[in-house]
Amino acid sequence: MRVADQYYRTIWVDEGQLPDVQIIDQRYLPHEFHIETISSYKQMAIAIKEMHLRGAGLIGVAGAFGVYLAYRDAFQANQPMVFVDGAITEILNTRPTAVNLKWAIDKVCPRVASGLTLEEKAHIALDAAKQLADHDAESCRLIGLHGLPLIEEISERKKGGVVNILTHCNAGWLAFTDYGSALSPIYLAHRKGIKLHVWVDETRPRNQGAALTTWELLNEGVPHTLIADNTGGHLMQNQMVDMVITGADRIAANGDTANKIGTYLKALAAHDNGIPFYVAAPTSTIDFALAEGLGKIPIEERSGNEVRYVRGLYNGNIVDMLICPENTPAVNYGFDITPARLISGFITEKGVVNNIKLLMNLNR
């Protein structure tokens, strides 16, 4: 995507033999645009865990580049294979909910086996990670194409009136290598001249909606309005939302979907008001091995400080501000599960599916 007239992906490598990995450090957005150079698997594990980068698709691709860096570290420091195995386990354990991390590592590791030396293995892992990055971007481009008719249909029904779409968290290009999942059809519809407007949930506690989704939509010129997380129900009751599109971090085989905390409440409100609720995700986010989501998908619990403090710009500096009495007990579940029965359809790179059986067919 373009930022100030330059094309960026969220993660990339420059030319050269076994190069470092570059990422957009999302912790500073929307106030500052930082690129971070990642030079070891350890730094990549920290970047994933501490959310320098985030979003299911991007976490997966970053994990793949992490495997590459583990082999590169081992080659450069003459470490044994046990070092690489430990590094991969460490990367796998950084964030538990998005299944894309395991998916991507499972794709890279078998390919590396054909390398005879650590150097060869590092080269193979690098190629595999680059291919996964391209695959992720292409999947998201296709999600846009498949999701577009859903928006067009509403636009036609409204005789060209503005289509109001509510989204939660950030499932834009920042959450993937490029394009995004939930935002990909929105970008396409906007470029095609369909009149639309996006309600952006702020998405406490880390405010990915307020910080990242608004920044993306502003860059693309898509009309949008930031709302407090609790506003969606009121908007839906007052016919101010035509559809909801969110992303996903893990979809179980029965369609139960883990997404950013608060998604479930939006799905309930949408259901109660007869508003279509779509989940947009690449099939790499479907955990076909997991029969159902509720109680089964691991829900990440993060530091209570993310609830106690809010990050923002104050006098030109990015600061974390305490919003409650110091040491107030706080719990911070990162995700919740939206049961399949509340989901109107899944927008994937292979098409839109509305029922579980069709979802299973995508495994072929």
Catalytic residue positions, numbered: 249
Nearest alpha-carbon partner for 201 in 241, 162, 173, 237: 241
- Peptide bond between residue 110 and the one before it cis (omega within 30 degrees of 0): no
Distance, first Cα to last Cα, the chain? 31
Other Cβ atoms within 10 Å of 130 Cβ, number:
17
246 contacts ligand MRU (rule: CB under 6 A)? yes
Chosen residue from 181, 184, 254, 348 binding ligand MRU by CB under 6 A = 181
Is 209 within 8 Å of 226 (Cβ atoms)? yes
Chosen residue from 27, 121, 260, 308 binding ligand MRU by CB under 6 A = 260
348 contacts ligand MRU (rule: CB under 6 A)? no
Q: Quick one: 33 exposed, middle or buried, by C-beta within 10 A (0-12, 13-18, 19+)?
A: middle
Do strands 250-252 and 286-287 pair parallel, antiparallel, or not at all (unpaired)? parallel
Question: At 20, is the secondary structure helix, strand, or coil?
Answer: coil
- Residue placing its CB nearer to ligand MRU in the complex, 73 or 201: 201
Stretch of 75-83, 113-121, 148-156, 242-250 lying at the interface with ligand MRU (CB under 6 A): 242-250
45 contacts ligand MRU (rule: CB under 6 A)? no
Stretch of 53-61, 66-74, 111-119, 309-317 lying at the interface with ligand MRU (CB under 6 A): 53-61
* Number of alpha carbons in the 13 Å side-chain half-sphere of residue 268: 8
Q: To the nearest whole angstrom, how small is the minimum distance from the Cβ of residue 8 to ligand MRU?
A: 17
Is 332 within 8 Å of 205 (Cβ atoms)? yes
Binding to ligand MRU by CB under 6 A, coded x per residue (else -) over 93-132, reads ----------------------------------------
Q: To the nearest whole angstrom, how small is the minimum distance from the Cβ of residue 306 to ligand MRU?
A: 10
Q: To the nearest whole angstrom, how small is the minimum distance from the Cβ of residue 180 to ligand MRU?
A: 7
282 contacts ligand MRU (rule: CB under 6 A)? no
Stretch of 33-41, 133-141, 193-201, 240-248 lying at the interface with ligand MRU (CB under 6 A): 240-248
- Distance of CA 231 to CAs 166, 185, 225, 228, 238, Å? 11, 23, 11, 6, 11
Chosen residue from 136, 201, 229, 249 binding ligand MRU by CB under 6 A = 249
174 contacts ligand MRU (rule: CB under 6 A)? no
Stretch of 6-14, 169-177, 219-227, 267-275 lying at the interface with ligand MRU (CB under 6 A): 169-177
Strands in 11-13's sheet, in edge-to-edge order, are 11-13, 21-25, 34-38
Give the chain's radius of gyration (CA, Å): 20
Q: Interface with ligand MRU by CB under 6 A: which residues?
A: 54-57, 169-171, 175, 181, 208, 246-249, 259-260, 334
